[in-house]
Amino acid sequence: MDGGLTYQRFPKVKIREMRDDVVKFELRETDASVANALRRVMIAEVPTVAIDLVEIEVNSSVLNDEFIAHRLGLIPLTSERAMSMRFSRDCDACDGDGQCEFCSVEFQLRARCHNDQTLDVTSKDLYSSDHTVVPVDFSDPNEPAEQRGIIIVKLRRGQELKLRAIARKGIGKDHAKWSPAATVTFMYEPMIRINEDLMETLSLEQKNTWVESSPTKVFDIDPVTQQVVVVDPEAYTYDDEVIKKAESMGKPGLVEIEAREDSFIFTVESTGAIKASQLVLNAIEILKQKLDAVRLSEDTVEADDQFGELGAHMRGG
């Protein structure tokens, strides 16, 4: 490098918790733009597979066709394959009609109620042509009792539902049904400094009321030393309640809370379509691809003069 100002940084990720559906991690040494870009990509641009086309053969249920089709679309399907699948709009195997194995998965649903008890048609009744793409199963494998998947419609005696559905790859930007993320959020890591000198001027009762003023359990009082300690800085919601409280108690500056501009605590919750950890990785992958697209685009080269250093940075310099 030419020794000039460089924008390149090497963010660090520290995983705190990892389950199939939830991941919590820290993202450090980067700024809000990257963190938010990651969040946005996770919600809207990580592809999944979802039912997109429904051909209804028989529907004598109480719900109308569009309603059922809409419900089917919102059922999360396991989409580990989605990254390698093609978008049906640019699938050359099927001329874009979206019915080939590279870009689509076919589902069948046949249900008819034969007795007087109401029949629940659930996502379990959807038969997939591809065993890797099936409706997400939320039931606990240890307790197979009454967990029967996502209810699509309820049938009474004599009612019938028969349909063929085609699931395709898509992204959450196009329709929420393709979004793999139930929730993605991040917060700035708070830095809390208690002014111990000022704090000592408070009585225990005052300390107590001050600690209580935070709706979340950020501070506590040490039972031994009777000092106010920070128990969980991340529980702080930047609601400023404690600061306002300190001011109203006549002790401004009792506590200083700052958001660290370069550390973020992410919580990612998946719909089950892909594992939460995979969601993060996919998001990073897509983010990379997007940056590549920018870097390789001719416009970028042209705009180099304008961007100067930044342009070089984007090209990986």
- Considering the complex, state which of residue 36 and residue 201 has its C-beta at the smaller distance from another protein: 36
Interface with another protein includes 67 (CB under 8 A)?
A: yes
Work out which of 8, 33, 115, 142 binds another protein, going by CB under 8 A.
33
We find the least distance from the C-beta atom of residue 102 to another protein, in angstroms, to be 26
- Only segment of 29-37, 104-112, 139-147, 282-290 that touches another protein (CB under 8 A): 29-37
We find the least distance from the C-beta atom of residue 289 to another protein, in angstroms, to be 17
Gap between the Cα atoms of 317 and 309, Å rounded: 9
Gap between the Cα atoms of 117 and 102, Å rounded: 40
We find the least distance from the C-beta atom of residue 189 to another protein, in angstroms, to be 11
- Label each residue of the chain as H, E or C: CCCCCCCCCCCEEEEEEECCCEEEEEEECCCHHHHHHHHHHHHHCCCEEEEEEEEEEEECCCCCHHHHHHHHHCCCECCHHHHHCCCHHHCCCCCCCCCCCCCEEEEEEEEECCCCCCEEEEHHHEEECCCCCCECCCCCCCCCCCCCCCEEEEECCCCEEEEEEEEEEECCCCCHHHCCEEEEEEEEEEEEEECHHHHHCCCHHHHHHHHHCCCCCCEEECCCCCCEEECCHHHCCCCCHHHHHHHHCCCCCCEEEEEEEEEEEEEEEECCCCCHHHHHHHHHHHHHHHHHHHHHCHHHHHCHHHHCHHHHHHCCC
Q: Tokens 């600690």 identify what position?
A: 211
- Only segment of 57-65, 159-167, 202-210, 274-282 that touches another protein (CB under 8 A): 57-65
- Considering the complex, state which of residue 64 and residue 147 has its C-beta at the smaller distance from another protein: 64
177-206: contacts with another protein (CB under 8 A): 177, 179, 183-188
- Only segment of 58-66, 85-93, 109-117, 281-289 that touches another protein (CB under 8 A): 58-66
Q: Tokens 């029967």 identify what position?
A: 148
* Cβ contact 275:229 at 8 Å: no
Closest CA to 177 of 100, 71, 61: 71
- Only segment of 5-13, 21-29, 83-91, 235-243 that touches another protein (CB under 8 A): 235-243
Q: How many other β-carbons are positioned within 10 Å of the β-carbon of residue 207?
A: 17
Work out which of 17, 20, 29, 65 binds another protein, going by CB under 8 A.
65
254-273: contacts with another protein (CB under 8 A): 259, 267, 269
- Considering the complex, state which of residue 37 and residue 100 has its C-beta at the smaller distance from another protein: 37
Interface with another protein includes 64 (CB under 8 A)?
A: yes
74-93: contacts with another protein (CB under 8 A): 74
Work out which of 22, 56, 221, 230 binds another protein, going by CB under 8 A.
56
- Considering the complex, state which of residue 38 and residue 121 has its C-beta at the smaller distance from another protein: 38
We find the least distance from the C-beta atom of residue 90 to another protein, in angstroms, to be 22
Interface with another protein includes 227 (CB under 8 A)?
A: no
Number of residues written out for the chain: 317
Work out which of 129, 216, 289, 297 binds another protein, going by CB under 8 A.
216
- Considering the complex, state which of residue 160 and residue 304 has its C-beta at the smaller distance from another protein: 160
Interface positions with another protein (CB under 8 A): 32-33, 35-37, 39-40, 43-44, 56, 59, 62, 64-67, 70, 74, 172-173, 175-177, 179, 183-188, 215-217, 235, 237-241, 259, 267, 269
